[in-house]
């Protein structure tokens, strides 16, 4: 059974940093693109960042470029999102999601999702 379990969310001050993690199991982690998607309270979904199977390609939404870094450890079946210089508008539930297709050349959406971890910005 595919499982994605996020952790690391919490309350942080504007300008601060936080590292989110996603533990993956039930599939060959190194064969899939992986992504982070977020949802601000009462708002829609936003694709934040995505990373290729071997970590050689990474893409970000413009609003987080230079502040967020996506990474993965295929030996540990783990995905991470390092967030720095956090802003009030980064308050959201952050979801870890897997892209469909073993060995895909692009992250063509998502198939499995985690339950999310909440990041709250507050001074």
Partner 1 sequence: QTVVTQEPSFSVSPGGTVTLTCGLGSGSVSTSYYPSWYRQTPGQAPRTLIYTTNTRFSGVPDRFSGSILGNKAALTITGAQADDESDYYCVLYMSSGIGVFGGGTKLTVL
8 binds partner 1 (CB under 8 A): no
Least distance (Å) from partner 1 to the CB of residue 57?
7
Q: How far is 46 from 69, CA to CA, in rounded Å?
A: 16
Q: Is 29 strand, coil or helix?
A: helix
Options 9-17, 20-28, 40-48, 75-83: segment touching partner 1 (CB under 8 A): 40-48
> Measured from the CB atom, is 24 or 37 closer to partner 1?
37
Token pair 């210089």: residue: 85
Single out the residue of 5, 100, 102, 103 in contact with partner 1 (rule: CB under 8 A): 100
Phi-psi map region of 55: left, alpha, beta (phi>0 left; psi -120 to 50 alpha): left
Strand partners, 21: 7, 80
Q: Which stretches of the chain bind partner 1, using CB under 8 A?
A: 37, 44-47, 49-50, 57, 59-62, 95, 97, 100, 106-116
């Amino acid at each position: 059974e595919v499982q994605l379990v996020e952790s690391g969310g919490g309350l942080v001050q504007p300008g601060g940093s936080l590292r989110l993690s996603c533990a993956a199991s039930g599939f060959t982690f190194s064969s899939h693109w992986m992504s982070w998607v977020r949802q601000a309270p009462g708002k829609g979904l936003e694709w934040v960042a995505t990373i290729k199977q071997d970590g050689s390609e990474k893409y970000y939404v413009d609003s987080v470029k230079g502040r967020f870094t996506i990474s993965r450890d295929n030996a540990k079946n783990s995905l991470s999102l390092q967030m720095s210089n956090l802003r009030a508008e980064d308050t959201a539930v952050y979801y870890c999601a897997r892209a469909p297709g073993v060995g895909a050349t692009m992250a063509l959406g998502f198939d499995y999702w985690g339950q999310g971890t909440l990041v709250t910005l507050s001074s």
